[in-house]
Structure 1
């Protein structure tokens, strides 16, 4: 199954903040720019006008704009960015250094209070990929507007790699509006 994934546009005033599931706004022009980019891609490749988005407005609003142009959009909570718990929405400089050190040293398993670990994110991503593949056994192409951490996790899963154990092994974030194609083959039971 082929997943066509775009990262959402850059949020307004998010620089320097820990942003996971904090619902930050995006400039409407940037949302429309991504929606136009996706529409052109769909026309060029003659794909169905169906897209999956997360419930966070930086993804959701792209789906809503596309719906005005004949798309169906589906909201999947599983597509949301990693949940940073108490860190979410806080300036990075206000998060205690010891907590960040603990996270970097136990990257896969550490979860900020009230949040999820990278391991939990990977499980959520892989479960969603498998479920969508199961529902679409005809091997359709799936369009998605996602988040950097989610896209990195999906890319690592598709590559057959394990959850990184240390922060230094985490790939650079996908650029805003960047497109990535992932060819996902579910594991046989």
Structure 2
């Protein structure tokens, strides 16, 4: 089967940076939306998707207005739910518990939060439903890492090695199928 381009774009900076923003939603900054719009120029995309969280959705709406593409909302591309930690600065979280989470987020999810494997499962399902056409998904850092796990087989430690700042674009060449695979075509911070 022929590969297709999949671009994963992390939302732009939120008005209140530095928080563990999973299900917590926040307003994106004007500059954050502009940075995302700039990252989406000249990609030749035919499909535009965004997480249902405002910080992703508003950037995607601006991209849709610039490209003339209709926007599809898919909540499977949301960030990991940080449970009791959601909306808090990392400095407010017990350091040992936070360290255990980063070491193994599936065995040590945030209290009341989502396991890594749940995030991977929903992102995997979203990838499996993609039409094999050039696509841009405006999403979150955790979902982007989950996609790298699903498509490229990176393990947990390798995933943390990727710096995915606000408005970073990860471009992949995806070979669809029962077990899709991909090649990284670019990472633009």
TM-score, normalised relative to structure 1:
0.80
Q: Distance in 1 between matches of 2:28 and 2:151?
A: 29
2:148 and 2:159 in contact (8 A); partners too: no
Structure 1 residues 99 and 65, CA, compared in 2 at 3 Å: closer, same or farther?
A: same
Q: Distance in 2 between matches of 1:7 and 1:27?
A: 13
**1:76-155 equivalence runs, <5 A:** 76-132=74-130, 136=131, 139-155=132-148
1:109 and 1:119 in contact (8 A); partners too: no
TM-score, normalised relative to structure 2:
0.80
Match of 1:32 among 31, 34, 38: 34
Q: CA deviation at 1:90?
A: 1.2
Q: Which structure 2 segments of 5+ residues have no match?
A: 180-189
Match status 1:180 vs 2:170 = yes
1:54 and 1:145 in contact (8 A); partners too: yes
1:57 corresponds to which residue? 54
Q: Distance in 1 between matches of 2:174 and 2:121?
A: 15
Structure 1 residues 81 and 169, CA, compared in 2 at 3 Å: closer, same or farther?
A: closer
Q: CA deviation at 1:32?
A: 2.9
Q: Distance in 2 between matches of 1:6 and 1:20?
A: 16
Q: CA deviation at 1:179?
A: 1.5
Deviations 1:55-101 (A, max 9, x none): 11111001222343422001110011111111100122222234224
Structure 1 residues 90 and 140, CA, compared in 2 at 3 Å: closer, same or farther?
A: same
Structure 1 residues 179 and 113, CA, compared in 2 at 3 Å: closer, same or farther?
A: same
Query: Which one has a bigger Cα radius of gyration?
Result: 1
Q: CA deviation at 1:2?
A: 2.4
Q: Distance in 2 between matches of 1:61 and 1:37?
A: 14
Say which is worse superposed, 6-15 or 100-109, in terms of deviation: 100-109
- RMSD across aligned positions (CA): 2.2
Structure 1 residues 86 and 146, CA, compared in 2 at 3 Å: closer, same or farther?
A: same
Match status 1:4 vs 2:1 = no
Aligned partner of residue 166 in structure 2, secondary structure: coil
